[in-house]
Amino acid sequence: MELEERLEHLPTGPGVYLMKDAKSKVIYVGKAKNLKNRAKSYFQKGGDGRLLVQHLLKRVADVDVVLTDTEKEALILENNLIKQFKPRYNTIFRDDKTYVSIKIDLSKPFPHPQIVREVKKDGALYFGPYSSSRAVRETLRFLYELYPIRKCSERTYTGRKRPCLYYQMGKCPGPCVGLADDKAYREIIEEVILFLKGKREELIEALREKMLKEAEAENFEKAAEIRDRIQAIQQTVERQKIRSPSFIDRDVFGYYREGKEMSVQAMFIRNGNLEDIASYFLPVHYNNPEEVFSAFLVQFYSHNRFIPREILIPMEVEDAPLLEEILTERKGQKVSVIFPQKGEKTRLVELAMRNAENAFRARHSTPQRHKMILEGLKEALGLKNFPQRIECFDISNIGGRQAVGSMVTFEGGLPNKNRYRRYKVETVPQADDFAMMEEVLTRRYKKALEENYLPQLTIVDGGKGQLGVALKVMEKLGIKDVDVIALAKARKAISDLGGRGVIASEAKQSQRLFAKANLPKALLRGFASRNDRPSELQDRVFIPWKSEPILLPTDSPELLLLGRIRDEAHRFAITYHKKLRQRQFYRSPLDEIPGIGPARKAKLMKCFGSIENIRQAGLKDLKEVAGLPAKQAELIYNYFHPPVTASKT
């Protein structure tokens, strides 16, 4: 009651609220445009729909607030308080990357590249940031080999009385003791800046002009030195990973979530060139991906790092306008936070998304983790065997035409593409998925018995009917030691399907199909009717002799693995089906003529240029131009010009 009264007296302005437990420890920090309404929304029936709220409210004993003048100030304060209190239920971005930048201060005499960890508003040029200090040092090592520029620190530079060893080696012009020409040194630094900005093609063009001038002046040694410099820079251009047509600075983000962890990929594009990438891994727990990414983004730029002109993100973020405003003030020029919908920017975000998934897979693709997931799958489904080798089947056809089946094999949780198989359905002329599945499974496991190469687990794409077909095939072939399951895709909600009438009609259709498939009677128990169940809205796993499906948690690694296997089988089947359809679409009329093989067909097309020209060719032309024997020439001519038979009146 005290907490409810406290909520009623909260202010209505913008600010930050701090939720505390019984020991007055801050467990959650949030910001709001209207503090009173936002805080009260947590305690209303159902909260705000987030799973996080259910766990949070069990521990909240008090709520404190801090008023701010604007929503922007609230965002900044929220971020600072999260760093300070590290609340249990907030997403906390612990940046373990050692970000470094390259700094060149042109206001100083004889400037040189320096590695720094902080970007300041001091008028100097900054390049980066780079997630790897090793990458920066490799870049500087390349530049030091390429250009004779000073390498010593400010302290060493001001205290030196005689030139260092680099001067003796010709790697430094000796500015520390007054031996360097300021104008020539500045020209070298301008070339270094062009290189660091990513304008390497422009730099190469300028160097070519300089090389030609030196060659015309017969300074061949100097021209050869510039030539070697051009070749070295060209090699770095060829190694460039990606290039964007827009020559502006961008940070591009992508994400991938699986289970209770989320990976975020950042691609740092400078002047159109991808200079560096970095991966981050964040716990999701009770938050949705949008909340986690939004919190990550705000905290990411709260660090003292380089701010680009554009930030491309993979989802809509509520705080994007506020973040734009904050970063624009810090940078001193317009910064845009963009959720792209089409064009080049969308392509970059999609690339970041693929890299985020790849980074996640690389982090978790260990034999120990795969073994753990497979053990979890065995326990969750009550399998007899440890599913070391899994085979999954799918059928693809359009109205029974060009029907094909696919089998994909996963071993140790990873695909083994050498064991993928595809089947052209031969005995089922009509649209009958059950009969097609039976043919494919029978062909596969007859051969598997001959080879003595059976899997531990067989998955069929579909529901109870497909499972019944698989069990029927196993029983017919006498296979008893293989676990069999069916994985049914999530169905739409009843409201989307048009009400219970649709469900009822589907139930009747299922009964007819089951009866037609001649399934075991024990398996059919409980299969006849379907009700409006929550299981319709997620992937369902059917196991033998149990009418109700097993519902694995949607974010469980076991269900995600099953989904990956099923999707791979579907992809493999669809690819083969499309190939057969294309082959039929591009089938030539010459294929219908007996005795005309690929070689003759190719020769005819080469001589006449098109089917229409062959159609119009006379018998004499076919013999003389294409050099066909008389019998084959007559076959082709008669095919395109069938003889007219007189009809009796």
Helix 200-216 to helix 220-238 angle (10° resolution) is 160
pLDDT band at 444, cuts 50/70/90?
A: very high
Q: How far is CA 334 from the centre of its chain?
A: 29
- CA 561 vs CA 353, 365, 415, 564: distances in Å: 19, 12, 11, 5
pTM strictly above 0.75: no
Supply the pLDDT for residue 196.
78
Supply the pLDDT for residue 438.
92
Angle made by CA atoms 299, 266, 362, in degrees to the nearest 5: 115
Angle made by CA atoms 292, 295, 298, in degrees to the nearest 5: 145
C-alpha atoms less than 13 angstroms from C-alpha of 186 in its C-beta half-sphere: 7
Let me know: does 607 contact 625? Beta carbons within 8 Å.
Answer: yes
Measure the CA–CA gap between 488 and 397, rounded to whole angstroms. Answer: 18
For the ranges 103-107, 467-471, 608-612, which has the lowest average pLDDT? 608-612
Residue 18 token pair? 């701090």
Mean pLDDT (whole number) for 300-326: 86
Q: Which residues contact 642 (CB under 8 A, 6 or more apart)?
A: none
Measure the CA–CA gap between 428 and 403, rounded to whole angstroms. Answer: 8
Q: Please give the span between the terminal C-alpha atoms of the chain, in angstroms, as a whole number.
A: 104
Supply the pLDDT for residue 508.
47
Supply the pLDDT for residue 471.
94
- Look-up of token digits 């360097």: 180
DSSP 549: P
- CA 517 vs CA 215, 281, 406, 442: distances in Å: 85, 48, 20, 14
**pLDDT reading at 621 higher than 60:** yes
> Check: CATH 3.30.420.340 for 382-579?
yes
- CA 163 vs CA 151, 159, 356: distances in Å: 12, 11, 49
| 555-606 confidence digits (pLDDT tens) | 788 888 999 999 999 998 888 777 776 655 455 677 677 777 778 877 887 7
Residues of the chain with CATH 3.30.420.10: 250-364
Q: Which residues contact 158 (CB under 8 A, 6 or more apart)?
A: none
Residue 485: count of CB within 10 angstroms of its CB:
23
- Return the CATH class of domain 589-640: mainly alpha
Q: Which residues contact 58 (CB under 8 A, 6 or more apart)?
A: none
Supply the pLDDT for residue 132.
62
**pLDDT reading at 236 higher than 70:** no
Q: Count each helix (H run) and each strand (E run) in the chain, helices first.
A: 24, 18
Q: Is the peptide bond before 129 cis (omega within 30 degrees of 0)?
A: yes
Supply the pLDDT for residue 303.
67
Q: Are strands 389-398 and 457-461 parallel, antiparallel or unpaired?
A: parallel
For the ranges 48-57, 81-90, 340-349, 381-390, which has the lowest average pLDDT? 48-57
When comparing pLDDT for 325 and 158, which is higher? 325
Domain with residues 250-364, CATH architecture: 2-Layer Sandwich (3.30)
- The total number of residues written for the chain in this structure: 649
C-alpha atoms less than 13 angstroms from C-alpha of 569 in its C-beta half-sphere: 27
Mean pLDDT (whole number) for 190-219: 80
Domain with residues 2-85, CATH architecture: 3-Layer(aba) Sandwich (3.40)
Per DSSP, the three-state class of 18 is: strand
DSSP secondary structure of 146-158 = HS----S-HHHHH
| 274-293 confidence digits (pLDDT tens) | 777 788 888 876 677 888 88
C-alpha atoms less than 13 angstroms from C-alpha of 277 in its C-beta half-sphere: 20
Supply the pLDDT for residue 497.
37
Nearest Cα residue to 408 out of 396, 398, 418:
418
DSSP secondary structure of 241-291 = --B-SS-S-EEEEEEEEETTEEEEEEEEEETTEEEEEEEEEEE-TTS-HHH
Residue 529: count of CB within 10 angstroms of its CB:
12
Q: What percent of the chain has pLDDT over 70?
A: 82
**pLDDT reading at 519 higher than 90:** no
